[in-house]
Structure formats: structure tokens, C-alpha cells
A and B are shown apart, each in its own frame.
Chain A
Amino acid sequence: MTRISLSLRSTLYYAWSHLSVLAGITLAVAVLVGALLVGDSVKETLSQSALLRLGGAHYALDTKGRYVREDLADRLQSETSVAMAPALLLPGVAIGPAAKQVNSIQIVGMDERFRGLSGQPGAALPGDGIALNSKLAGELGVKAGDPVSIRFSKPSQLPRDAPLSSRQGDDTVRGTFTVVAVWGDDQLGRFSLTANQIVPCNAFVSLRSLQALAGLDGKANLLLAAGDGDFDAAFKKVWRLDDMGLAWRKSHDYKYYQLESDRIIMDSAVGRVAEGVGNSAGALTYLVNSISSEGATNPRSTPYSFILAMAPGPGLSPVPPGMKDDEILVNRWLADQLSLREGDGVRVAYYEFTAWGRFVETSRVFKVNGIVGMEALKQERELAPRFPGLTDAGRCADWDIGMPLDAGKMEDKANEAYWDAYRDTPKAIVTLKAGQAMWSNRFGNLTAIRFKGDASCLPAIEATLRQRLDPPELGFAFSPVRQIALKAAGQALDFGQLFLGMSLFVIVAALMMTALLFSFSIQQRSRETGILLAVGYTPARVRWLLIREGLWVAGAGGLLGAGMGTLYTRALIWALSHPWRGAVASTAIRFHSEPLTIVVGVVAGIAMAMIALVMATWRQTSRSARELLGGQEGVFSVQSPVSRGIRAPVGVILPPLGLAVACVLVVLGVATPLQDPVEIFFAAGSLLLVSLLGLIRLYFIRLAGSGGRFTLAALGIRNMGRRRTRSLTVVGLMAVGCFMVFAVSSMQENIEKGAAERSSGTGGFALFGESSIPILADLASPAGWEKLRLDQEPGLRGASIVPIKVRDGDDASCLNLNRAQSPRLLGVDPVAFEARGAFGPQWTLLKESLPDGCVPGLVGDSNTAQWGLQKKVGRENGDVLLYRDEQGGTLKVRLVGALPMRVSVFQGTVLIPAAAFSERYPSESGARMFLADVPKGREQDAREGLTRRLGKLGVTVSGTVARLKEFHSVESTYLAMFLVLGGLGLLLGSAGMGIVVLRAIRERRAEFALLKAVGYSDQQVRGMIAGEHRVMVALGLAAGVVSSLAAMWPNLNEPGVTLPVATMLAFLAGITLFHLLWIELSIRWALRASLMPALRNQ
């Protein structure tokens, strides 16, 4: 026999006794492992979701508002040997039978190459066929064979709110298809480039059909690569000018060629590169409001005229060398019309273009440098930019150019005659520098570049342009979408740690019960411990023998706990799919376990259990062999712990001192305004709790001595002092559990209270709107309302709207489990919010220029900053987010602050000034989000009116409070989870009370037998035992409730917080009843047999 075999033998012999210890350890390990496995499951679900979203796509070129040639995919594939799939991705709405409309859908024009990415190749969709993903099919309530229409904003090469762009009343396109299939997740049904586990609504049509519908034949705005490679380098090798929408036009005499963009206004990067190539000259054509004679006795004017601005260039430009920037050439017609001669003054009035597409008229004066004959300008007419809605218009009155036009001036007969004769021949010419100073905008500052030479020069010029132009500068850059998606999933909120934190009380309760039960079993074997000491074992050796027994049990508990842990995980996942689905935005979490997680959980659980067992063993083996052999209890040992405890200053002085400090903190907190009252009051409550437990301990010590009233009840209560540690463990568990549950309950916020205030998360706005299709009309102006016919809605009388620009990105709100890599950007007008005093005073931060060139940004609310982005905010040292803008450059957004509330309607987004937004993302036309102020009581009418007028644009209007509730549901679900798990810990503690009662009765059977022998009835004995334990329950609950009141104090006075008094009282009653029930059941069980045999053994 060896010491190891002795400990194993002992473990097996006392197996029944160790069973309860095993149960405690198993429970602790199960909860620990289970909580960690929830983290694994969530991570794996998000990773799988990311892979399902993308299928086989590793890289993507998302050109957003631009369109490349579809055959670029073939060229790239040849260059890289990686399969490429082109697609056309457009946001829109879907309309099913009975006009049921689903907004915010993705319309994907694709072919069999796209389907190949799913790993399940299939035939191309028929031209009139549409495939829906399960979610969209479900929301529309359609199946194969049903008709479905899609509507989207008609794509325009020229951004819709660019100057001179066409803005017809109906900018949308509608197409009707027949459902041919409903695609599941494994067929790329949930395709999306955004890192979000929420399944989008997708509609798939054939690429050809969508191209035809959108007027984008042979074009695509998305290229997907089914593998890895240096795609940007390959792009640089294979791209052509027409991939960037660049094309040549030749002069009628073939002496020069003009490079133009299908976006009309040329990207600044192209202009920058091209102007330096060969013999070239840039040109900018603009439509001005009027040209008037300046300083004349009888001033005359002509409306709505084209002016050409060009750099001088022999053979290229009509601008003579040496012409100054304040000089102007006028054509013969204009000179005659305004009676102009060389040297006369001319005033040019034109619109400046602002971020919101608003037009501000301004003017500039020039001196006539010369007069050009109409014949000389014939070439200019041929090479004038082709503005949609203008160039092909029959009459001036038919022009549709998105600028405010005076109807009277449009009818100007002379101008009409000019249009008939000369069309868009420029009436005047200025230098390019002057023109760019007046008409440069965020879209660009050139409409053409001319190159001198014949056709034989073009290849060389093209080669030079291709070499010098960097495609990313024009927004053509591949993203490693697969890598980004997996990173977002990997950095998601760690649900393992979250549940571990929430389950901590259960784990601690289980371990404390384990330690208690192990102590009991060692106490039971005190004589065995004594004999080992007597035969020469040192206390350390005896401890080690017992600890080794504990190790066997802990090991077995760890293994069992690992298995049970997976069941706990499955239970938690079930809860996350049902009552707690709000915590995961209704995402279907799938169970997944990593072996390493289980090992870590088991090892950590065993380690914690061993700490508890070692502490229990130490106490029990610190007594002498004589005491152990004699079966003497510690309280009667030589040195009374009464005097030892009282002499110890820590135990005597600190509790009342702590109590005093806690009271002072509470009084100070009530009397003075604090910046972070919640933290201070919580600290005060915690200190109060610890101090109260210390005072209870002193009370137990005092009880252990003799003296005081000598009644049966007093006799029972005095017994609490005999096993102080045991009693204090039970009282402490109850107190801590109550404290946590009550303090957390008080954090429940009533989101509706105070929601109408400007300082709340709604900003005082009543309605929140989002649209799939941009709203081009200015929602903040009467003209915009008139255009959208909002002024005809009675429900909107007295209402006002603040429009917001949107650049799609990752949702950084609590509804997205993935970590946002590139958060959604909103372009806002700070003045509009500042004027209303909405959301707080931080809007001034957006009006400041930062010295480092960063754009200031506000985080949508403090929860987003802290949890969604995990970034710090501050004017000086706020974190910087990097975005790619449309010019391929880097937009640096410094997070100078956050909206002060925890939850706002802007959760998950970053707000930047609209001017900066439009400058960097010029093709993001119009607004896709808005907030509406509505007179009280008219919210429903206003909502209906907005839906009626804007529904065609896929606008969804909801109440701002409803939006807050959606975000808040996540937080309130977390609170509910914490309460349930905390409550479980308390229930466990109540079971511990039952075990303590059973144990106490067993130890004192002889004592109770003696009481009965001297004449006390069964009822009196039971009452004594029950009374003693009921006092423990009362002490624990009182300590917990009183200290939680201190922690709750700030929330009691918080406007938005409503204390769930009924819930808390019900909880208190329930826990009390549970404890009393356990006490009663344990007494009945333990005293069911006769006590008299216990006397015979004495």
C-alpha cells in the first residue's frame, strides 16, 4: 500500500459522502465550461454566417456608384487564373402579390459564374425569372411561379445630385419577374458584403435582364474573385479606358481628340494625370443662369447659357494665349444680343453647389477680351458635353437639369432661337482657371481633356494614362472580403466571457457548497485524522492525503462537468433562440465546441474547486490530534476563538468602520451632484454589504459565548455561533445573491419615459425614416416638399424633417454580433440639430476644423463607442477611423465625441459633417435617412403620409421610440439573463441551506435526543432548529436588501428608470419561501427516525 493508494481507497470508501462534493464540482465545472462553449458557438455561427454570405468569394471589387465593363472579369481571370464573377448589385424594393412591399432589399444581377461561387453550379436564370432568398420569399409570402416586381433607382453615370444631372419626377425603374426558385443559404441566398449576421433580403435576376432594365448594357459594379491573388496589380495590367467610363471623341478635322467621361464631370485624378500628357488642354463646360452687360446704360441679359472654360492650347483651344482670368471671349450672337464690344464688362451669374444639393446664386464680372464668330465655334458645339435631359431636349423649356430654373426665363424667345440654331454652342469662353474657380465641385473640375494629334497617337496616350493612373484613386480597389468577414466574426463580442460573468455567482455558490460539504466529510472523519497524527503523520501529510482525495473527486467532477457543460451550453443556446433571442438579434446560434475550450474550462474549474477544497481541509486539519481524537469541537478548545476573534483587529474594527464609510458615501452622494453616481453608490452598497457581513460575524462570535437569555429559542440561535464559518457561508451567499439581483433589477430602464425630450436618445424627434432608394429632393426645403408632394399631406402640417446622407457600412449597433470593421457613416447638418437643441451640445465639435486634416466624427451613442466600436473618443486623442473615399484616397475620421446618451436612434453609426461627406462621397446622392419633428398627437398621420408619398422609394418610417426599444431590447435581455442566472445561484444557495440543516441535525442528534429525554416535544425541538435557521435567512436577506438599496439609490431618482418593485418583492418572497421550504423539508427528513439511539452511543 502507498499513500496514493490509501487516498484512493479512502476516496472510494467515502464515495457516498463525496457524492455531494462531486455534484458541487460537476455543477461548477459544467457552468464554467458551458458558458465558455456559448462563446465558441457564437463565434462559429458568425464565422459560418460570414462564409455563407460570401460563398467562394475571397476578394471583391465593389465600385458602388460606378460601373465597369462586364468583360473585365474575363480579362482579370486570364491574368490571374482565378475564377471571377461579375454582378450588378443594386438596392431596391420588392413588391409581391397584393402589392405587399418589402423595402431595403438587395437586387443581384448575376450569371452562372456567380452561382459557381456557391459551390453548387446551376443554370443561369431565365430572362424573366427571379430567385429569392428564403427570407424575402417568406416576407413576400411567395413561392415558385408567383410574380414579383422589383423597383430600384435608375442608375446614372452622372450622380443624380450633380449639377446639370437629370432629376425627372420618377427616377425609379420597375421590372416584373416570375419566381423560379427560392435559394437557401448554401446557394448564396444570404449573399452580402456587409459583416452582419442578420440575413438580408435578396432577389437574384439574370445579369442581362438587370443590365437591360437599368440601361447598363455590358456593365457591372461588382467583381468577385474565387481565390487569392494580387488583383489590384492585375487590374492595373488589364484595364482599359472604357472600364473607367472614359472614351474618345474626335474633332471634325481629326486634328485632336477629346477624352471624356461617361460621368460627364471627370474625376479629378484623371484630370490631374491627363493634363500633363502630351499636348493637352483641359475643358470645363457649365450652364450659367445669365450673362449680362455690366456698366451699360441700358443693361441687357441673356438667360441660361453655356460657357466653356479652357486652358490655352494652340490648335486645341479657342482661348488665346495671354488671356487673363478676368477676361472673357463672347460669341458673335452674344455680342450682338448684349451690344458688347471689346473691353466692355460682362456679369456672369451662376449657381454654386452645396452639400445638400442646394443652389446658391452668385456672380462674377469679366472684361470682354474678344468676339468669336459662330463658325469658329462649330467644333465646340460638336464636342460639347452630352448632359442627359438637356442635350437632346427640343426646346429650352424641356430642359431637365436638376437646377432651379425660372420658368419665365426659360421661355425667353431669343434664347429659344439660339437653342434652335446653335444648341449647346458656348456663348462665352473663359480661362480654365477662372472656370474652375467658379464651377469646381465635389464631382470634379473638368468635363473633357483635349489632346493634339491624330489617331496614331492615341495608343501611346492611352498607355501613358494607364501607366500613370492608379485605379484605386478612382475607387477601383479589391477588398479581401473573406478575410475581413472572418476578422469581424473573430472580434465579435465574446459571449463566453459574457456568460461567464453572468454565471459567476452560480459557480461561486457551487464551489462554496462544495467546500462546505467537503468540510462536513472531513469533520465526520476527525478521529481518523487524529489517529494519523497520533501515529506520526505531520499535519501537512494528513492534509495532503485529504487533498489528494479531493483531487480524485475534483478530477471526476471535471470530467463529468465537461459533459454536463455541453448540456448547459445547449440549454443556453435554446434560451438565446427563445426567451433571450433579443440578446443576439434573433440570430440562430448553432452549438459548437472547441476541444481547447473544454480543456481550459475543466482545468480552471478543477483548479477553483481545489482551492475551495484546500481551504476547507486547512481549517479542519488545523486542530490538534487530541481534539480530533476526542471529537471535541473547536469552540471548546484551549484557546477560545471568542477571545481570538475579538482580539483580531481586522474582524472587530473594520466592519463598523466600513459601515460608517458607506453611510458617509451615501449621504455625500445624495447631498452633492456626482459625475458618476452609479459607480460610487454601487461601491457604497458593496462596502455596506461587506461591513454588514462582518458585523454578523461578530454577532456569531458573541453568540458562541455563554450568557444572555436562556430560552429554547435562544439556545437554538446560540448554535449559529458554534459553526461560524458554516453559518456565515450560508448568510453570505444569500446576502450577495440578493444584493446582485436587486441592484441589477434597478437598472431596468423605461425607455419611453422622457423620450420626447430633446436630450433623450430620440433627440425629441417623433419619426425615423430610412429608404432603399435615395431621396433626391431636399426634405428640409419647401421646394423639396412640393416636389415630393409632402405639402399635400394633412398629417404633415407643422412637421419638419432633417435629412441625413448615408454611406453604407458595417452596423456597429448592439444588433450586430460581428465587430464592425468599417462603421456606417452618416452625413449630417450639425446646424439643424443644434438649432433644435437635439441630442446635446456636442454638435459644435463637428463644426471645428482639426489641425491634422482629419474629419471630425461623433459616435452615435456611448454604447456604440464603448461596445460596438471599442474606441475612445476625444477632441485631442480620440481614435481615428480610416475609410476609403470615392477618389481612392483615405478618409480619416477622428472620433471627437459621442452623443451623450447610452442609446440613441443613431446607434451603430458615425456622424460627420455633410459637407465633408459629400466631398468624399460625391456619388452618394440625396438622403437615405431622416428624422421628423411632428406636432404631438399627429405621429400616426404623419407616418402614414410619409409612407404614402415616399413608399415608392422604399422608405420605411418608424417611431423613434420603437427604434430605441429595438436597441434597448438587447440590453434589457442581458439584464434578464443576469437575473435568471443570479436567481439560479440563489436557488443553489437555498439548497445549501437545506444541506446545512441536515448536517447540523446529524451532528447534534444526541443533543436533540437529550432535549426529548428531558421532556421537550417533537414540535418544540423542530421549532428550535427551524428558528435558528430562519434567523440566518433573515440576516442574509436583510443584509442583501439593505446594501442593495444603497447601490440602487441613483437609479431610484433617474428619470428613465422605473423600479420593478413588484418583481423585486416577488423575488424576495420567492427566495424566502424556497429557503423556508428547504429548512422544513430537511428537518422532516432528518428527524423522521427516533433520536434515542444517539443517546446510547454516548
Chain B
Amino acid sequence: MTTPILSLTNIAKSYPAPSGGVVEVLKSVSLEVEAGRSIAIVGPSGSGKSTLLNIIGTLDFPSSGSMVLEGQDMDRLGEAEKAAVRNQKIGFVFQQHYLLPQCNVLENVLVPTLIPQSKALQIAESRARDLLEQVGLSARLDYRPGQLSGGEQLRVAVVRAMINRPRLLLADEPTGSLDRAGAENLADLLVRMNRQQGMTLIVVTHSIPLAQRMDSMYSLVDGMLIPGNR
């Protein structure tokens, strides 16, 4: 068995309750994901799916447990190092597109490349154009987010997440705000990116059809991650 790209060991997350005590959102979650694989995490609302994804994406920190990404223990990293990890190794697709309204499509995709460690702008721009062509947005490069449909906006967000060739692509309810056709298109895109670009894909979703298109599926129930759909 190859070394997993991502390894979660006994991840737990709790919050203090207003009336005292704690609320345990995640209890001892463990997961290993091999490189290039795609997994779906499903579960009811409030089960902690987004919390788990935020922890994996270093946007949040676990109350206990450890996370290793490409052999790097995330607990040992400072904030700047985590930011670098998010920039270089992780791509995040949210339910809301969070595109910058003041930038056009091409510029929004290039936002992650303005950090010095990123690739040279020309290389990045060439890659951006390629990716946008792949997702069918080559004719929309100068459009502002307000001029795009919901599906187009999400496709731009996906390309933005991929611009720095991340090893791990995280998607949090990516189809939540789309209609059926749009959801299918976005699902196709994610799967295609996973296959073609070889990046590991973790999707948090309510959508069973989307989840079924992943290599494996986990359910998050009562703070525990259980393989399969329950």
C-alpha cells in the first residue's frame, strides 16, 4: 500500500457551550486517503462535515488528534506555513463562489498566484487560460462575476482552486446552490479534474448522486466517520 497523501488520526473537535460544558462536533475521526483518490463525506446537517473539511483544509484546528498531509504534520506548522500549504497543496471549493467582484474571471483565477512563492505570473496565466478553456469559460475571461450564471461562477471557483496544482482538492457542498443540470455539470468537472490532474478529491455533500461518483464514501454520524452511506 502506498503512503497516504492525507492521514487523520483521532481528530476531535468540540466547542464551549454557552451554558457551560462542551459540544463535541467530531469525536475521534480517523481517515487515510491515498493520492489521486476521490472520497465523499456525507451526513445530516450539523453533523460536522464542514468542520471536518475546514480542519483538513487548515482553516480550523482540531481540539485533539493529528493530521499529516504529504508526510507533514500540520500540528507543527505555524500560521504562515499553513497558509503556504493552503496556497500550494490544497485547493478549496466552497458552496458560495466567493469570487472577488472587482476582478474578472481570469483575474479571479489568478488571485492565488500573487503570492511570491507561487509560479511566475506568465506561467500561471497560461495555465489559467488552459483550465478556463477546459471548463468552457474561455469566452468569459473579461466577465465580472456578476455577469456569470451560478454554474459559471462555481466553475471559476473550481479553476481558482486548481491554479497552483494542489495535491488535495476540497469541495464543501459545491453543488448546494445549483440546479440539477448545473450540479451534474459541476460534478462532471470535479471528477474530470480528479482523473486528469491526478489530484486527490474530498467532497462534502448532501447530494447522494455526487457522492456515488466518488471512489469511496464516508458518513459522519454522531461525530464519527463511518465508511459507506448510513
Contact = CB atoms under 8 A, between A and B. Distances in A.
A13 B86 contact: no
Contacts of B102: 9-10, 12-14
Interface in A216-240: none
Of B83, B100, B111, chain A has the most CB atoms within 10 Å of the CB of B83
Interface string B157-184: 0001100100000000000000000000
Contacts of A527: 96, 98
Given A1-B110, A6-B114, A638-B16, A534 B101 contact: no
Interface stretch (A623-631, A804-812, A868-876): A623-631
Given A530-B98, A626-B54, A629-B94, A535 B112 contact: yes
Nearest to A705: B18
B110 A534 contact: no
Interface string A523-561: 000011011111111110100000000000000000000
B139 interface: no
A706 B86 contact: no
B95 to A, nearest CB: 10
A3 interface: yes
A188 B130 CA distance: 83
Contact of A3 (B80, B98, B114): B114
A536 B83 contact: yes
Decide if the interface of chain A is mainly helix, strand, loop or mixed.
helix
A55 to B, nearest CB: 63
Nearest to A12: B102
A527 to B, nearest CB: 6
A532 B111 contact: yes
Interface in A810-869: none
A639 B100 CA distance: 29
B60 interface: yes
Nearest to B100: A528
A626 B16 contact: no
A626 B87 CA distance: 16
Of B87, B102, B160, chain A has the most CB atoms within 10 Å of the CB of B102
Contacts of B112: 535-536
A2 interface: yes
Interface of A: 1-3, 6, 9-10, 12-14, 527-528, 530-539, 541, 624-626, 629, 638, 640, 706
Given A9-B103, A534-B86, A1 B59 contact: no
B218 interface: no
A3 B16 CA distance: 39
13 contacts: A1-B107, A1-B114, A1-B121, A527-B98, A528-B98, A534-B59, A534-B86, A534-B94, A534-B98, A535-B86, A535-B87, A536-B85, A538-B80
A423 to B, nearest CB: 110
B59 A6 contact: no
Contact of B79 (A14, A530, A539): A539
A13 B145 CA distance: 13
A534 B57 contact: yes
Interface of B: 15-16, 18, 54, 57, 59-60, 79-80, 83-88, 92, 94, 96, 98, 100-103, 107, 110-112, 114-115, 121, 160-161, 164
Contacts of A530: 98
B60 A706 contact: no
Contacts of B115: 536-537, 541
Contact of B60 (A6, A624, A640): A624
Contacts of A537: 83, 87, 115
A625 B57 CA distance: 11
Contacts of A9: 102-103, 107
B92 A13 contact: no
Contacts of B111: 6, 532, 535
A706 B18 contact: yes
Contacts of A6: 103, 107, 111, 114
Given A6-B114, A527-B98, A706-B18, A536 B80 contact: no
Of B59, B87, B161, chain A has the most CB atoms within 10 Å of the CB of B59
Given A528-B100, A624-B59, A534 B114 contact: no
Of A10, A541, A625, A706, chain B has the most CB atoms within 10 Å of the CB of A625
Nearest to A14: B102
Contacts, number: 76
A532 B59 CA distance: 12
A629 B114 contact: no
A-B pairs, top 4 by smallest CB distance, nearest first, are A536-B87, A13-B102, A531-B98, A536-B86
B225 to A, nearest CB: 20
A534 B92 contact: yes
B107 A533 contact: no
A624 B55 CA distance: 12
A538 B103 contact: no
B14 to A, nearest CB: 10
A632 to B, nearest CB: 12
B80 A626 contact: no
A536 B92 CA distance: 10
Contacts of A531: 94, 98, 100
B60 A626 contact: yes
Given A536-B112, A624-B59, A638-B15, A1 B79 contact: no
A625 B115 CA distance: 17
Contacts of B84: 536
Given A1-B103, A534-B94, 8 more contacts: A1-B114, A10-B100, A534-B86, A535-B161, A536-B83, A536-B86, A538-B83, A638-B16
Contacts of A625: 59
Contact of B98 (A538, A539, A629, A640): A629
A536 B88 contact: yes
A1 B94 CA distance: 24
A535 B92 contact: yes
A10 B57 CA distance: 27
B108 to A, nearest CB: 10
Nearest to B97: A531
Contacts of A3: 114
Nearest to A10: B102
Contact of B59 (A13, A538, A626): A626
A534 B97 CA distance: 12
Nearest to B15: A638
A629 B114 CA distance: 20
B162 to A, nearest CB: 11
A13 B102 CA distance: 6
Contacts of A706: 18
Contacts of B103: 1, 6, 9
A585 B13 CA distance: 74
Nearest to B164: A536
A536 B118 CA distance: 10
Nearest to A630: B50
Contacts of B54: 626
A626 B60 CA distance: 7
